[in-house]
Amino acid sequence: MPVSKDADIEITGFGWVPDFVKGQVRDLRVRWALEELGMSYRTRLLHAAEPRSEDYYREQPFGQVPTYRDGDVQLFESGSILLYLAEKDERLLPRDPAAKARAITWMFAALNSVEPALLNYGLIKLFYGNEEWGKLREAGAREFAELKLKRVSDWLGDSEWLEDRFTVADMLMSLVLGIVEPFGMIDDFPNLRAYIDRATARPAFKAAFKAQMADYTLPAPEGMPA
Amino acid sequence: MPVSKDADIEITGFGWVPDFVKGQVRDLRVRWALEELGMSYRTRLLHAAEPRSEDYYREQPFGQVPTYRDGDVQLFESGSILLYLAEKDERLLPRDPAAKARAITWMFAALNSVEPALLNYGLIKLFYGNEEWGKLREAGAREFAELKLKRVSDWLGDSEWLEDRFTVADMLMSLVLGIVEPFGMIDDFPNLRAYIDRATARPAFKAAFKAQMADYTLPAPEGMPA
């Protein structure tokens, strides 16, 4: 079990989030990579509903989780942390320069070409559904998100993974695609459905998910259900 | 002058875009990196107003520019191409592992934590300003974009660059911040103003910008001003 109080690697995550966010917080990505590599880590837990300290903004200038620390290496941005970890092990990132660069291309694609459109729609659904602009924009935002899903689906075709083998990019892409899963958008694309299922069937993902859930140990804010 | 018809490296860009997009298209990022490194490249020009071919979607699954090709290396996503190029040369990316990983962290931050919020506001201003939802959302989207600017500004403080020296991350971040420059948002943050000016004063940026402008050689679509 990679979570260990005495581990050198420390990541931050949340000790409390609302239920509908569970499984979506980005420390899951880093936990998954660490599980794939069998590397132990400890967690430092923040409360999603409480303001970050000034100190934390020096660690993570946007106040988000996760951060990653191991000796003099101090990182943030899940994409960057995943790339840093994947560089250590051919199982997550091919050594061949052309294949490696392709995998990294897909990491950036997941985070810059796909995630913003999906998250934009997700935020409207989760937070702005009762605001007038949210109601007016919802269909257009969904259409734009669907177009991104279609592009990934067209690329993927009958392949198992984005390129010819599993890489760290498939971890990122499958979790990014999962952002719109609660809105029933994945089932319109059977190959994306199978792709996400294939990725999240990996024992390392299951262990990471379980570890993230186990860390939701902080009390709910006053007036909110635990 | 790195643009050369016989260069091995080929990138795609646009041969025509509307005026308000000039200077914002992402092949500028790649041209800048190639100029910093003194590497020659040739361009293949698409028309922004014409549909992409099916073949192009196999090269760039989202139909965007730029793509990058050099022998068996075929990439897309400006962030990925910049990282691939920066890996070749210490002038753009430190060799020290911890410093290198920090620079890469800031590349992902520019593209995943900053750009989506800025682009979201920019798109409302440029394309949805006359739609009801755009009018209703504009102030909120601006506020969210400003918060991202504030976070980068707070981090930067009096420093010249994001970390202790210029890296490829400063190229990306300065161009990403520039997305909201047309809306007068940068001048509220004097250190960001100076940061962008410092980055874009580099001769390599100027050469890249000039080369991008020089490639706008295709005719405007019928009915649109040249």
pLDDT per residue over A6-43, tens digit each? 999 999 999 999 999 999 999 999 999 999 999 999 99
Predicted local confidence at residue A33, as pLDDT: 98
Contact across the interface for A74 and B98, Cβ inside 8 Å: yes
d(CA B146, CA A221): 28
Of A61, A73, A101, the CB nearest to B80: A101
What residue in A sits closest to B98 (Cα-Cα)? A73
Interface test with B, best of A113, A128, A130, A154 (most B CBs within 10 A): A113
Predicted local confidence at residue B200, as pLDDT: 98
Contact across the interface for B113 and A57, Cβ inside 8 Å: no
CB contacts of A76 in chain B (<8 Å) are: 105, 109
In which band, very low, low, confident or very high, does the pLDDT at B225 lie, cut at 50, 70 and 90? low
CB contacts of B86 in chain A (<8 Å) are: none
d(CA A175, CA A172): 5
> How close is the nearest chain A Cα to the Cα of B39, in Å?
18
Contact B128, B121 (CB under 8 A): no
Interface test with A, best of B80, B123, B177, B192 (most A CBs within 10 A): B80
What SS3 state is found at B15?
strand
In which band, very low, low, confident or very high, does the pLDDT at A109 lie, cut at 50, 70 and 90? very high
What's the rounded mean pLDDT across residues B22-34?
97
Predicted local confidence at residue A225, as pLDDT: 64
In which band, very low, low, confident or very high, does the pLDDT at B192 lie, cut at 50, 70 and 90? very high
pLDDT per residue over B131-162, tens digit each? 999 999 999 999 999 999 999 999 999 999 99
How far separated are the first and last CA of chain B, in Å rounded? 27
pLDDT per residue over A45-79, tens digit each? 999 999 999 999 999 999 999 999 999 999 999 99
How far separated are the first and last CA of chain A, in Å rounded? 27
Q: Among candidates B125, B93, B165, which has minimal Cα distance to B24?
A: B125
Query: In chain A, how many H helices and how many E strands?
Result: 9, 4
What's the rounded mean pLDDT across residues A161-180?
98
ipTM over 0.90: yes
In which band, very low, low, confident or very high, does the pLDDT at A224 lie, cut at 50, 70 and 90? confident
Please tell me the pTM assigned to this model.
0.97
| Structure token digits, residue B159 | 């420093």
Predicted local confidence at residue A117, as pLDDT: 98
Segment A179-188 long-range contacts (CB within 8 Å, at least 24 positions apart) = A179/A24, A179/A115, A179/A118, A179/A119, A179/A122, A180/A118, A180/A121, A180/A122, A180/A145, A180/A149, A182/A20, A182/A122, A182/A125, A183/A121, A183/A122, A183/A125, A183/A142, A185/A142, A185/A145, A185/A146, A185/A149, A186/A149, A188/A146, A188/A149
In which band, very low, low, confident or very high, does the pLDDT at B223 lie, cut at 50, 70 and 90? confident
CB contacts of B122 in chain A (<8 Å) are: none
Predicted local confidence at residue A126, as pLDDT: 94
Interface test with A, best of B53, B58, B108, B111 (most A CBs within 10 A): B108
Q: Among candidates A165, A172, A176, A179, which has minimal Cα distance to A106?
A: A172
Contact across the interface for A62 and B109, Cβ inside 8 Å: yes
Contact B93, B86 (CB under 8 A): yes
Largest CA distance in chain A: 54
| Structure token digits, residue A103 | 């995998």
Please, which residues bridge with residue A3 across strands?
A: A41
Contact A149, A189 (CB under 8 A): yes
What residue in A sits closest to B105 (Cα-Cα)? A80
> How close is the nearest chain A Cα to the Cα of B76, in Å?
6
Predicted local confidence at residue B112, as pLDDT: 98
Predicted local confidence at residue A1, as pLDDT: 62
Contact B41, B34 (CB under 8 A): yes
Of B102, B111, B133, the CB nearest to A137: B133
Residue B163 phi, psi (nearest 5): -115, -160
Predicted local confidence at residue A223, as pLDDT: 75
pLDDT per residue over A120-166, tens digit each? 999 999 999 999 999 999 999 999 999 999 999 999 999 999 999 99
Mean pLDDT (chain B) is: 96
Predicted local confidence at residue A226, as pLDDT: 55
